[in-house]
A and B are shown apart, each in its own frame.
Chain A
Amino acid sequence: MELLVASAIGLLTAVGIYLMLRLRTFPVILGLTFLSYAVNVFIFAAGRLAVNQPPIIAKGATYADPLPQALVLTAIVISFGMTAVIVIMSLGGYLESGHDKVDMDGKP
């Protein structure tokens, strides 16, 4: 399972960085989303990987670390909000300039 999670994080990050370096806003936003998925899985893994362990302390039972789950929830909410902002801004940029290139127009 470690190999699966680690390679999933690596793949998501690689895809995210590749897309982020594109010239147009849509792939860039997709890349940022992939990057935030990778980060979310990574935070989750920071609390150690465990199967069938609820994040609740019960008598005699083993439990998973609940804090990374709370952290990842915060991270998901924040990245969701930020993605919404950048989507709206790039829509505005597209409507105002007629294209969706990330670069400025070469004016100083």
Chain B
Amino acid sequence: MTHWIIAPVVLPALVAALMVVALRHSLALQRAASIVSILALNAIAVALLASATQTGPEAYFLGNWPAPFGIVLVLDRLSAMMVLLLTGLALPVVLYAVGSGWDAKGAHFHPLLQFLLMGIAGAFLTGDAFNLFVFFEVLLIASYGLMIHGGTRDRTRAGIQYVAFNLVGSSLFLIALATIYAVTGTLNMADLAEKLPTLPDGDAALIRVAAVMLIMVFAIKGALVPLQFWLPGTYANAPGVVASMFAVMTKVGAYATLRFGTLIFPTTLPATGPLVAEMLLPAALLTLAIGAIGILGATTLPRLVAMAAIASMGTAFIAIAAFTPATTSAALYYILHSTLATAALFLVADLVTRRRTDGMLTAQSPIAQSGLIGALFMVAAIAIAGMPPLSGFIGKLLILDAWRDHAATVWTAILVSTFLTILGLSRAGSTLFWKSQATAGDAPKPKPEPLAFAAVFALLAGLAALTILAGPVTRWLDATAASLYDPAPYIAATKLYQDRADAP
């Protein structure tokens, strides 16, 4: 699989460049290229997943430079899973963008989407901390463009806040990386994992500072309280289809936290100890609470979904914060589920909002295809709230089970917030679909958008598959979580260079 590891980064970059240079004038060709590229990425992601499952971690040495000096990409089970999640989400999103006509409302939707895929895939695959920063910036700059796509006044101004927030995050990231480099002299993640335990005690304070700053950066990405302020405004004002794609962007924060918390700052590291876990748990509990209360308080549909996204990140981070194989497995399952569920709910919200004058949660004259969209809303709401029979229930059950010995705090937070979420979502749904039926006004002509509906159905089908295949998926995730707590093969993979025949 050697060279295929870099394909999820290179392919979207080339396709995006081709679109900007050669297909600039034809939206139809751009759509075709975008869909073909994402289909190819899906095939590559499946192959990478199979390879990572069979052969374990594998490193790709960029420019054939040996590991601690050059940049490596590392494919392991976790990164392969996240790449597949990304490409699996991108396909319905691009279909929805084409079907709903969002991509025609401004220039360069498809190239920006490809660059976003490139940045996120790179962030999942890289084995170098500074390279992670670079891929963060790639995905951010693409997301800035997507966020203000088809810009309106409010969207542009929400975009400014989003960019400013993330620029501060980037500065923090750089300070943390420079501190780590000053102490250890390396930024390769596997090399850091080896060097940090042998550091003299005098450097422990600096490493703790760097660890805290890094976790803060990932918390900004993952929208953890108190760094979640960028998310509601951004997601609520972004085009629905873009917000749906952004559902995987918060997971980049979760992925990075998981990677750094298990590989570089494990709880066994003398310098940091359980510092990361102790920081994350209260923040995650608060995030869940604020998300759930926000769902009750939201006055517009997109903001309600954004708050649901925050609540789901809180739940995911609660599971991550324990840093044990069982909880990590539950966290991974919940990350898979919540990405698809949040994305589906954003798309349904967009279907509703585009059929009304605004997204306010008030009774207005009924929308076209009210019954179908209402049913889709209900299924997506069941999924995100974590009610049976969909995968959210299994995900939350796994997390509750993994946190069995902290029932007082964690169980209370998750169960109460789930109740609030159900309350908020059912109130929103009944206002939007039932009370609107009662108002005067005829249902307008249905808008045929087969591709857009197919995209929502595809996401919901993904959730159903995740539910039906929960057994095999959790077994696979258990092995993935176990591999995170045994980093020796990951570290060994980045050292293989010395054994290769063509090594200088």
**Do B156 and A82 touch (CB < 8 A)?**
no
Q: Is B182 positioned at the interface, with any CB of A under 8 Å from its CB?
A: yes
**Do A78 and B134 touch (CB < 8 A)?**
yes
Which of A43, A78, A89 has a CB less than 8 Å from the CB of B163? A89
Interface string of B358-377 (1 = CB under 8 A from A): 00100000000000000000
Contacts of B298 in A (CB 8 A): 108
In angstroms, Cα B420 to Cα A97, docked, is: 37
Grouping DSSP codes into helix (H, G, I), strand (E, B) and loop, the B interface class, with mixed when no group exceeds half, is: helix
**Do A85 and B163 touch (CB < 8 A)?**
yes
Q: Given the known A-B contacts A28-B164, A82-B137, A97-B157, are A89 and B178 also in contact in the complex, defined by CB atoms under 8 Å?
A: no
In angstroms, Cα B178 to Cα A52, docked, is: 22
Which of B141, B152, B178 has a CB less than 8 Å from the CB of A85? B141
Q: Is A15 positioned at the interface, with any CB of B under 8 Å from its CB?
A: no
Contacts of B171 in A (CB 8 A): 32, 35-36, 38-39
Interface string of B142-184 (1 = CB under 8 A from A): 0010001001111011111101100110110011011101100
In angstroms, Cα B154 to Cα A105, docked, is: 8
**Do A93 and B156 touch (CB < 8 A)?**
yes
Q: Considering only CB atoms and an 8 Å cut-off, how many residues of chain A contact the other chain?
A: 36
How many pairs of residues, A versus B, come closer than 8 Å at their CB atoms? 101
In angstroms, Cα B187 to Cα A74, docked, is: 14
Contacts of A96 in B (CB 8 A): 151-153, 156
In angstroms, Cα B170 to Cα A93, docked, is: 23
**Do B181 and A67 touch (CB < 8 A)?**
yes
In angstroms, Cα B166 to Cα A107, docked, is: 23
Q: Is B124 positioned at the interface, with any CB of A under 8 Å from its CB?
A: no
Contacts of B157 in A (CB 8 A): 93, 97, 102, 104-105
Contacts of A90 in B (CB 8 A): 160
In angstroms, Cα B171 to Cα A37, docked, is: 10
Which of B141, B168, B174, B175 has a CB less than 8 Å from the CB of A20? B168
Q: Is A42 positioned at the interface, with any CB of B under 8 Å from its CB?
A: yes
In angstroms, Cα B165 to Cα A86, docked, is: 11
**Do B168 and A97 touch (CB < 8 A)?**
no
Q: Given the known A-B contacts A46-B179, A108-B300, are A32 and B168 also in contact in the complex, defined by CB atoms under 8 Å?
A: yes
Q: Is B197 positioned at the interface, with any CB of A under 8 Å from its CB?
A: no
**Do A102 and B161 touch (CB < 8 A)?**
yes
Which of A20, A43, A105 has a CB less than 8 Å from the CB of B164? A20
Task: Give residues 53-108 of A contacting B (CB, 8 Å).
Answer: 67-68, 71, 74-75, 78-79, 81-82, 85-86, 89-90, 92-93, 96-97, 102, 104-105, 107-108
Task: Give residues 1-50 of A contacting B (CB, 8 Å).
Answer: 20, 25, 28, 32, 35-36, 38-39, 42-43, 45-48
Contacts of A82 in B (CB 8 A): 137, 140-141, 163, 167, 170
B: residues with CB less than 8 A from A are 130, 134, 137, 140-141, 144, 148, 151-154, 156-161, 163-164, 167-168, 170-171, 174-175, 177-179, 181-182, 233, 298-300, 303, 360
